């Protein structure tokens, strides 16, 4: 799928074409610019950082260098210098843009957390006691992060049946999760904490994330230590990494928090991103995808990316260039703003219609696509989709 990126956006990607091995590029219009072909014209960062085949070397450079490189590339695009290194997106194979070092998935949407609590703990307080005081999260499996377009095989795991028997079987409750991810750069030492007001200096760029979930496997295993095999089989991310420098128009005040966060999580100017998020499903055996979810990230998220990162390091845990943090499922207050099928079907009790098809959870052959747009000047910019089709177990 070609995406038309405006000249000032220049999202990063890793691409290959024919005998040309994987290399770093940026999106310009419906083309890809091969940065290694213009590396000799770039002065803001060392040549090796833009001639690499992954973003990781650039992620070590730090926020000032990232911003300087983005503005330099915008100027080079305006002057026509990048034109000789452009090739159509349709000719490219896209790869994961960086080597994911560590991956933490958070639980940052209050609407999602409350709905899940109502489904699993009816009659009690839907929010866990700690939820309004800290950004809850779990440590995911970085080796299972895959790029847009990668098919996902239905996982097997232990499942507790209604009669109490335990079986090892393919999940019957495969779900998507609509999330916003941040690629982390810079490095901290073990024992070092990142302050809330400087946390955004470690946020290089944004990707869409589908943290696939096997709800029946998850339900049996998550007590006492949380998600494990129900999540670790696959996490899909978009091929394009939109730099934070291109998202200045999308920054917006974060939702007020009550009770106020503790001091170390209370930013001077808390911000979120005004991203319009959508989920589309193409049912197996059909050619038409239908939208099943639309929600705004800024309205749907209680905890911000800066708070997530500050919390992650508040005990002295290290950051590494190439870490990924994700928001957790983004949901809004309306019924059609659920960021997963678990919410939309009330745990499978209320099937939804997708065209002429009925779904409680995903069927083999279904294809899920996440999309997002952000304000960009007088228009919008796409963040690049993330899609994946379900393969049989």
List of residues 6+ apart from 354 with CB closer than 8 A: 281, 283, 290, 292
Q: Is 112 a catalytic residue?
A: yes
Q: How far apart are CA 247 and CA 15, in angstroms?
A: 23
Q: CA–CA separation, 51 vs 25, rounded Å?
A: 9
Please provide the distance, in angstroms rounded to a whole number, between the alpha carbons at the two ends of the chain.
Answer: 27
Active-site entry in 70, 112, 302, 311: 112
Residue 47 tokens read as 């040549």
In degrees to the nearest 10, what's the CA dihedral of 305, 306, 307, 313?
110
Residues in the chain: 393
Radius of gyration of the chain measured on its C-alpha atoms: 21
The answer to whether residues 61 and 45 touch, using CB atoms and an 8 Å cutoff, is yes
Reading the block at residue 5, the tokens are 């990126």
Which ranges of the chain would DSSP assign to H, the alpha helix? 35-38, 47-50, 56-59, 63-79, 110-120, 215-221, 297-300, 305-313, 341-344
Cis bond upstream, residue 259 (ω within 30): yes
DSSP class of 241: B
Output the six-digit token pair for 183.
Answer: 């690629």
* Maximum alpha-carbon separation in the chain: 69
Tokens of 298: 């800024």
Which residues does 164 contact at the CB level (< 8 Å), separation at least 6? none
Task: Read off the tokens for 16.
Answer: 């290959």
Positions annotated as catalytic residues are: 112
């Amino acid at each position: 799928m070609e995406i038309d990126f405006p000249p000032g956006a220049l999202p990063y990607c890793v691409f290959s074409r024919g005998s040309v091995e994987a290399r770093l590029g940026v999106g310009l219009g419906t083309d890809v610019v091969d940065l290694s072909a213009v590396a000799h014209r770039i002065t803001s960062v060392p040549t090796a950082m833009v001639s690499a085949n992954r973003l990781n070397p650039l992620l070590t450079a730090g926020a000032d260098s990232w911003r300087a490189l983005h503005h330099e590339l915008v100027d080079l695009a305006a002057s026509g210098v990048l034109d000789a290194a452009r090739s159509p997106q349709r000719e490219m194979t896209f790869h994961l843009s960086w080597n994911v070092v560590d991956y933490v998935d958070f639980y940052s949407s209050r609407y999602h957390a409350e709905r899940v609590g109502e489904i699993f703990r009816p009659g009690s307080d839907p929010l866990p006691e700690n939820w309004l005081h800290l950004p809850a999260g779990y440590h995911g499996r970085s080796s299972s992060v895959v790029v847009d377009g990668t098919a996902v095989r239905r996982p097997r795991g232990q499942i507790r049946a209604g009669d109490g028997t335990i079986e090892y079987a393919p999940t019957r409750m495969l779900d998507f999760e609509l999330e916003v991810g941040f690629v982390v750069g810079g490095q901290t030492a073990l024992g070092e904490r990142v302050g809330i007001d400087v946390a955004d200096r470690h946020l290089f760029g944004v990707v869409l994330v589908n943290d696939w979930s096997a709800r029946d496997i998850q339900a049996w295993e998550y007590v006492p230590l949380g998600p494990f095999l129900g999540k670790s089989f696959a996490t899909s991310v978009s091929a394009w990494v939109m730099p934070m420098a291109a998202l200045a128009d999308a920054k917006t005040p974060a939702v007020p928090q009550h009770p106020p966060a503790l001091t170390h999580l209370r930013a001077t100017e808390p911000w979120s991103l005004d991203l319009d998020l959508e989920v589309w499903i193409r049912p197996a055996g059909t050619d038409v995808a239908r939208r099943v979810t639309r929600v705004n990230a800024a309205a749907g998220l209680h905890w911000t990316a800066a708070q997530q990162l500050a919390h992650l390091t508040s005990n002295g845990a290290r950051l590494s260039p190439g870490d990924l943090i994700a928001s957790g499922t983004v949901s809004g207050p309306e019924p059609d703003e659920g960021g997963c099928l678990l919410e939309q079907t009330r745990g499978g009790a209320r099937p939804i219609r997708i065209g002429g098809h009925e779904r409680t959870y995903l069927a083999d052959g279904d294809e899920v696509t996440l999309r997002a747009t952000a304000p960009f000047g007088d228009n919008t910019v796409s963040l690049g989709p993330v899609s994946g089709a379900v393969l049989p177990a």
